[in-house]
Structure 1
Amino acid sequence: MRILAGEPADPDLGAEVSLTEGRLGGAAVPFLRITSGEHRRILVGEARTDGENVEVVIRAAWGDAQGWRQSTWSPEDVAGTLHEPVHRVEEREKALTIAKALAEGSRNAVAELRGLRYEMERQIADLLAQRANTALRMLMAQLVELSMAVSRARDVAQEAVREGRFTTLIMRHCEAMDVGLGDEVTRLQALLSSVSTFAVAQEGEAQQRFNTLAAAAAAGLGLPALLLSLYGADDYLPFTWDKAWRALVPIAGALTVAAGIILHRMPGRTTVKRCLTALGLIAGLVGVLLVAGLLAP
């Protein structure tokens, strides 16, 4: 196959090589790639070349088919990532040029990992602003998985730096990759810590919301009973359509005022959905009282 020649391949760029498995010796350069397509994968491993063959050993892979998690991979995934970066490969220094290009591609993939972090930050921002209903537990799990992927890639880069058996240019790529991944690990850990703090706050908000709803239920049951006990129901029962509105309008008004106060005090924004739900509960309760009054002996 032709690698480092772009997509579609430029015959004047790149080199024809064979992908092998477990045959080449020598120093390995870090291999970090993010595949494209419907379901992306993060591939972390090492690569070696002798100029005519390229060996890629994948140590771990993560996929986003159901949220970022560790997954399987295929040789086609690896082959699809070797078109870039585009390089002109001279026959005289073919092995060295390919090794340098592979290391450069791994360094470039750090920016793509940064893009994945930006995606996670956008999802968290949407959740905080209540623009999305993403499960917080799923977001935290994906952050942990991405942190594992970045840490694993950094381990590979650090191992290459420690070996130090490369040219100066390849070493610069490995060192830059190490620094970039170290920064991403720090930012992902800080993001995970922030989300954990938000999870605690969300749990407290959920408890407050439950208490508010419990107060709403108590008001919804208590206010009609209080009104009926104050004014009596004997003069109205059994209901006729003329008596019903005079008995139920004060109850509906008291429930509406109580619902308005509760919606105002409830954590978060007062959305149209919440208002419609409150109106539905009021209508339901008034409807139950109406039916009960009509059926009263």
Structure 2
Amino acid sequence: MRDVQVDAITSAVKELCMTANYDLGEDVIKAFKSFKEKEASPTGQGVLEQLIENAEIATTERAPMCQDTGYAVFFVELGQDVHITGGSLTDAINEGVRQGYQEGYLRKSIVEHPLNRKNTGDNTPAVIHLDLVPGDDLKITIAPKGGGSENMSGIKMLKPADGVEGVKDFVIQRVKEAGPNPCPPIVVGVGIGGTFEKSAMIAKKALLRNIGERHQDPEMAALEQELLKKINKLGIGPQGLGGTTTALDVFVEVYPAHIASLPVAVNINCHAARHKSVKL
């Protein structure tokens, strides 16, 4: 059994909140540059160049790359041999969010009730997804999620007879209907199987992959590439101004399903595909 103090968790989370919003992953910047070279629209090329410059400014000046600094969403892998001491894991994470968003001058975007809309003032509470895993490590991943892209996500309970073609049709239609709203070029997470909520969960978790990272199953990897090609033929383009770069990548995750069900969820991320991890 290994002890981990809540103060260490809070400090790590505070830093994650800031770095995730300041430092866009090298995989995303590399994708911007690659797609810029292939983009058919001069306007689209210009937008991609601006996104590259924006990412550089954010890193250099330690400023958020987007004014929507997101809902603080965490994926936590807690080793079964880890003992949290000095308080609760949830409280430690929320305190880290509170400190990080305050000290990092990050926008506070969370309301305490979805109907009365009063802002909590510190971007808490976070959304925390917890997995209990073997070992004595504690891994914390943050994926700040902006409202514009989250609002364009969707889920559908298909019939098993709809099969893979039904999945493709739903994914493409969801992206088409989203249009410019999620600030393309987007990253698309697709969850297939499980239950209503499980498909949504794995769709979001799929977004943690690096651009270009293919599914281990060759069939699913081929599906990802097919969907990416079809999405980029929609013509929505960078920031919705037209072009051949609507998405940077598509990530598919699957889970066993009930014999009567074929749930499919689509979680769309904007071009600011932010996620950072730390292991304690």
Q: TM-score range by the shorter chain?
A: under 0.3
Structure (1 or 2) with the larger CA radius of gyration: 1
Question: If each structure's strand is expressed as a fraction of its own residues, which one has the higher value?
Answer: 2
Structure 2 length-normalised TM:
0.21
Structure 1 length-normalised TM:
0.20
Q: Using CA pairs under 8 Å that are at least 6 residues apart, name the structure with larger relative contact order, 1 or 2.
A: 2
Question: If each structure's helix is expressed as a fraction of its own residues, which one has the higher value?
Answer: 1
